Amino acid sequence: MFGTFVKKNKLSFQYWIGTRCLQILKIRLSNMDDAKTWPEVAKAAAEKRRELVLQGPAADTKISSHGGLHSSIYTLTLLNYFEVSQCPSLTEIHEDIQHLKNLQSLILCRNKLVRIPDTFSSLKSLKVLDLSSNNLDFLSESITQLSELTTLNVSCNRLEVLPNGLNNCVKLSTINMSKNRITGFPSDLYSERLDLLSNLVASDNAIVELSRDVHKLAGLKALDLSNNHLSEIPSSLSDCPKLKEINFRGNKLNDKRLEKMVNGCQTKSILDYLRGKAREGEEKGDAGRSGNDKRKRQQQKKKREEEDSQLEDVNKMVLRVLHVSEAREILTVRVSAEVKDVRPYLVCCVVRGMNLKPGNSLKRFLMAQTKLHEDICGKRTIATIATHDVQRLKGPLVYDAVPPTQLKIAPLGRKEMTAVELMRHLQLEADDLRKQKKRQNVTGLHKYLQLLKGKALYPCLVDAEGHVISFPPITNSEKTKIKKTTKELFLEVTSANSLQTCKDVMDTLIEKMAELNKFTAAQGEDDGSDEEGDATPDQTGSADTSSELIVQQVRTVDQDGNLKVVYPSKTDLSGDISNLTVIW
C-alpha cells in the first residue's frame, strides 16, 4: 500500500519536473527568437540599459509582423527614455506601458497611433511626451495626471479639443498643438498654476478666440497662433510680463492696422499697440468732455493713416526673381543617372541680398535652417537643405552617386576624408557618446547615419574642379561654408520622396530668408566680425538696409543636357503670405 503511494507520487513528481522543464525550454526558445527578431530589446534587457530607440523601416517591419510592440518591451522597467518613431504599422500602445514607471521621456512621433491608453496616468516620472504626427482624434485625460510633465507635443494630429485638467501639470513649460483641428483652448489652460508655461504653439488650427485671461500665463515667452480663425487679439496679452515672441500671421483680424502689424512688425511694436488700445478703451468714457476732443480725434486719425502707410512699406517683403536668361553668370546642375535609386530629386537656386553681416544674423539663419530640418524636412528623412557661398564654388555642378570609397569630402569642421572614413568616425563618436551617457540615441550628425545604411552608392554634389561640396543627407563641405561676408548663396534641396517635396521645402526656406532679412534690416544691429577678421567696406559693400532678395533661377538637366527642372518657376513661391511680393 505504502509502496504504491510512493510510486504514484514519484510518477507525479517526474511528470511535474518534465512539464516544468518543457515550459522553461519554451521560454528560452522564445527569448532566443526575441533576441533574433528584436535584438535592440534583448540588448537593452541584457545590459540593463536606460534607453531604447526603435525607428524607421526596420523597426516598422518587426512591429507589422508581430502585430504591435513586443510584450517584453514593457518589462524593461529601468528605461527612462523610450522612442518609437517613423513606424506606420504602430496604431496603438498596450496598457502594459504602465509598468515603465521610470520613464522620463516617451517619444512616439511619426507613427499612426489612433489612441493612447488610460494607463499613461501611471507614468508619474514622465517629463517629455511627444505624440506628434500620428492619427489621434482624441486625447485621454490620463495625461493631465502627469504631474512631472514639462513638454507636451501633440502637433500634426486630428485633435479637435484638448482635455480639461492640463492645469494639473504645473511643471509644463512647452505645449505644441499645431496642425490639428482645435477650435479653442480649454478654459483651465488660462491658469495662474501654469506659471512655468513659457512656449505655447497652436498654429494651423481653427481657433476662433484667445481669452482675455491669457494674461494669467505669467511665464509665457513665446506664443504662436498663426493661421487660425482669430478676429481679435485681446489687449490683455500685453500684460504678459515675459512675452518676447508672438506670431498671429494668417488671421483675418477686424483691426486691419493690427493685421498689418502682425504680418511684419516686431513683438514689442505689437504689444505697445495693444497697450495703447487698452488705454484708449479706458479713456473712451471721457470722450466729448473737452471742446478740443473733436480736433484731437481728427489729428489722431490722420496720424494713424500716415503710420499705416509707413507700416505697409516697412512690413513689405520683396523677392525679385532673376530669369536664367538675365543672369550674368549661368549656373547649371547636371544630374547623373546613378542617383535614381539613391536620392533622385534636386532643386537649386542662387540668392543675393541676404545680409549675414550684422549682429546675430548668421546665427539666426543657421538656427532657422536647423529648425526646418527638424520640422518640414522630418529630421532629414523627407528632405535635406544645404547652403553654400557662391564665390567658393565653380560651375557647372554635377549631382552624382558614387561608391563610398570614391567619395572624398572635407566635412564642416573636419579634414578631408572618404565617405567610408567619415561614416566610421561618426559611428565611433556615436558609440562613445552612448557609452558616456548610457543612452541609445545620439545628437548632431550621428543621428543621420541610418539614412544611408545599406546603400551601395552615396549621393554627392561636385563642382567643376572635382570638389565634393555636398554629401546629402550628412554634411556640406568646409570649402563652400557660408560666413558673415557671404554675399551670394547657392541653395540646394535634395529628397528621395518627390520633386514637389524639394520645391515645397525650398519655397519655405526662401520665405524664411526673406523674413529674417527684413528682421535684420529692422533691428539695425552693428556689423559683427568674421572669424577671419573684420571685412573692409569694399568687401561688404555699402550699409544697405534694404531687405529685398534676388532669387536667380538655376537649371537642372539630365546627362544629355535635357531640362529636368528650373527653380523657381511661375508655379513656385506662390504661398499665401500677405506681405510677401514676388516680382517676376
| Whole-angstrom distance, CA of residue 9 vs CA of residue 19 | 15
In angstroms, the CA 87 to CA 381 distance is 13
pLDDT-based confidence at residue 88 (cuts at 50, 70, 90): very high
Please check whether residue 149 is in contact with residue 167, taking contact to mean a CB–CB distance below 8 angstroms.
Answer: no
* C-alpha grid cell, residue 271: 504689444
> Is 214 a residue whose pLDDT tops 80?
yes
This model's pTM is above 0.75: no
Residue 462 CB neighbour total at 10 angstroms? 21
Report residue 181 as a C-alpha cell.
483641428
Query: Which carries the bigger pLDDT value, residue 266 or residue 14?
Result: 266
Q: What is the pLDDT of residue 153?
A: 93
Residue of 381, 368, 399, 396 whose CA lies nearest to 512: 368
Given a cut of 50, whether residue 31 has pLDDT beyond it is: no
Average pLDDT, the chain: 82
**pLDDT digits over 343-372, tens only?**
999 999 999 999 998 888 899 999 999 889
pLDDT in tens, 37-56: 688 888 888 888 888 989 88
Instruction: Kindly provide the b/e burial profile for residues 157-179, where b requires at least 16 CB atoms within 10 angstroms of the residue's own CB.
Output: bebeebeeebbbbeebbbbbbbb
Map grid coordinates 515550459 to a residue: 23
Task: Give the residue-averaged pLDDT of 405-421.
Answer: 90
170-174, 429-433, 479-483: the lowest-pLDDT one = 429-433
- pLDDT for 518-566, tens place per residue? 888 877 666 654 444 333 333 333 344 567 899 999 999 998 889 999 9
Residue 489: the pLDDT is 94
In this model, does residue 416 exceed pLDDT 50? Answer: yes
